[in-house]
Chains A and B, each alone.
Chain A
């Protein structure tokens, strides 16, 4: 709009002004900002009026006929934390003491606070492997600042995260997948919602490289999972400038942002592997990215039949406070092997499970306030006639196809489900090993 001559003014609260500034700088535009006290949502009418008064005082300067419509002076004193763009050397000479080096990287905003492996030229070259001759080739552009993710920068971050070179093709595929438009990476990274980019590795490569798929699958159970998930986050942070407080506006965040990567336990999966459900051969290796909340446990030790177990699963899923109720998107159900086995024994296949969840996992209006209910149904393209008075239930997905089922984990009577950011769809990509 700015380019086509519509003069644009952005109203931001003081808590979001960093994000607005960072995006405007990245997008090379200089919209006029009106900054008001945070928040705007959830406050009473008189407070909304106060915010409007505050905005109007600033707007008068913009609308003053004698003033240039858009001036270049900054209307806030917030620190600019976007990355510099000038072409400077990408090599640094640092003290080799690991504590000093780690502290330097941390203070630069390049780590998550945990120790990193120094990205020396030798280590980065080893990480690049057969990609070395194409190291300056661009994998894609970060939507947060339009900076290119080159194979070189991806490899540097992979080294820092502790990846082995054999994991690198998976990282490349995960980057490509998360840059697909349907994934909505800008929204996923900038949202106040506590989502992380979960990486799900499927096919022969998962077992060969030892990705987590057995006991403690979502915990610290393998180097491959721990380091690969961390590497992807580093790419977003370091190439995309995604730092907490500026471009990452998560209210509380999630431990899953440190790293979130796992695989299916295909050996005990009574059904087809997940990637086969999505049209790949079982011999293919794939990576799926998904904007997930941390896993929410489903404990069911008591059920003796698949039908009874489904009651517990649906009961656990049917809760208020999740983005899926109004922003739709996908959800993932990660069945523990014992739960999956019970369901399969009693004739439940994935299609039947999805249909049952879709039909019965409806969160009744009484589980939320009237205002929250109205807020939620306002987002539905068709509001389906949902009524608060009738205690109508809101679906957790718009169709059974948006419910995804995996089998993962070890012994025990636990499963998990992973609510999502909502305005994001999982993307699966074949891993190309060169």
Chain B
């Protein structure tokens, strides 16, 4: 027999990034502002546009009607986080953000 040390993170604690606050429950959808954040990959704007049309058709009274362009953010780069100022803008505007992780 031989005794070895494990090479992985066993026995370690992940860095504490702070607790996530509990989510508010959406009991009554009303004047909900929906924004979209694209990772910059092809067809992402297109699929978000279709989803947005679906949402509008399904929940015409619950969502705020503003042009898609106003609510569409594009970080242009799947491999980097969105810039802080863009996140601030989204935070100030949106109740719900739809984003993506894929090719």
Q: Give chain A's interface residues, CB within 8 Å of chain B.
A: 1-13, 15-16, 19-20, 23, 26-30, 38-43, 45, 48-49, 51-53, 55-56, 59-60, 63, 65-66, 68-70, 83-85, 87-96, 101, 105, 108, 110, 118-121, 124, 141, 145-148, 150, 152-153, 156-157, 160, 184, 186-188, 190-192, 234, 238-239, 241, 327, 371, 375, 378-379, 421-423
Q: Which residues on A sit within 8 Å (CB–CB) of B4?
A: 91-92, 94, 101, 118-120
Checking A16, A48, A108, A184 against B46 with a beta-carbon cut-off of 8 angstroms, the contacting residue is A48
Q: Which residues on B sit within 8 Å (CB–CB) of A23?
A: 101
Checking B20, B40, B95 against A378 with a beta-carbon cut-off of 8 angstroms, the contacting residue is B40
Q: A13-B102, A52-B54 are in contact. Are A83 and B9 (CB under 8 A)?
A: yes
A52 B9 Cβ-Cβ under 8 A? no
Interface residues of B in 60-103 (CB under 8 A from A): 62, 76-80, 87, 90-91, 94-103
B2 — nearest CB in chain A belongs to which residue?
A96
12 pairs from A and B in contact (CB 8 Å cutoff): A1-B91, A5-B21, A6-B90, A7-B23, A9-B99, A53-B50, A65-B26, A93-B2, A120-B4, A145-B14, A187-B80, A371-B42
A273 vs B23: C-alpha distance when bound (angstroms): 55
A12 B101 Cβ-Cβ under 8 A? yes
Q: Which residues on B sit within 8 Å (CB–CB) of A152?
A: 5
Interface residues of B in 1-54 (CB under 8 A from A): 1-15, 17-21, 23-29, 40-44, 46-47, 50-51, 54
A90 B14 Cβ-Cβ under 8 A? no
A227 vs B2: C-alpha distance when bound (angstroms): 23
Q: A3-B20, A20-B101 are in contact. Are A88 and B50 (CB under 8 A)?
A: no
Q: A41-B41, A96-B1, A150-B12 are in contact. Are A91 and B6 (CB under 8 A)?
A: yes
B9 A238 Cβ-Cβ under 8 A? yes
Q: Which residues on A sit within 8 Å (CB–CB) of B13?
A: 85, 87, 148
A3 vs B22: C-alpha distance when bound (angstroms): 8
B95 A90 Cβ-Cβ under 8 A? no
B: number of interface residues (CB 8 Å): 59
Q: A11-B98, A69-B23, A69-B24 are in contact. Are A1 and B90 (CB under 8 A)?
A: yes
A223 vs B76: C-alpha distance when bound (angstroms): 41
B100 A1 Cβ-Cβ under 8 A? no
A184 vs B4: C-alpha distance when bound (angstroms): 32
A192 vs B18: C-alpha distance when bound (angstroms): 30
A23 vs B68: C-alpha distance when bound (angstroms): 29
A134 vs B1: C-alpha distance when bound (angstroms): 29
B87 — nearest CB in chain A belongs to which residue?
A1
Checking B20, B29, B98, B103 against A13 with a beta-carbon cut-off of 8 angstroms, the contacting residue is B103
A56 B42 Cβ-Cβ under 8 A? no
A63 vs B57: C-alpha distance when bound (angstroms): 13
Q: A3-B20, A48-B47 are in contact. Are A11 and B79 (CB under 8 A)?
A: no
Q: Which residues on A sit within 8 Å (CB–CB) of B15?
A: 141, 146-148
A239 vs B14: C-alpha distance when bound (angstroms): 10
B5 A124 Cβ-Cβ under 8 A? yes
A96 vs B55: C-alpha distance when bound (angstroms): 61
A52 vs B52: C-alpha distance when bound (angstroms): 9
A327 vs B4: C-alpha distance when bound (angstroms): 43
Which of B26, B62, B94 has the largest count of A CB atoms less than 10 A from its CB? B26
Q: Which residues on B sit within 8 Å (CB–CB) of A38?
A: 102-103
A52 B97 Cβ-Cβ under 8 A? no
In angstroms, how far is the closest chain B Cβ from the Cβ of A327?
7
Q: Which residues on A sit within 8 Å (CB–CB) of B91?
A: 1, 4, 6
A27 B6 Cβ-Cβ under 8 A? no
A187 vs B80: C-alpha distance when bound (angstroms): 7
In angstroms, how far is the closest chain A Cβ from the Cβ of B74?
9
In angstroms, how far is the closest chain B Cβ from the Cβ of A399?
19
In angstroms, how far is the closest chain B Cβ from the Cβ of A239?
5
Q: A65-B28, A146-B15, A238-B7 are in contact. Are A423 and B80 (CB under 8 A)?
A: yes
Q: Which residues on A sit within 8 Å (CB–CB) of B40?
A: 378-379
A121 vs B5: C-alpha distance when bound (angstroms): 7
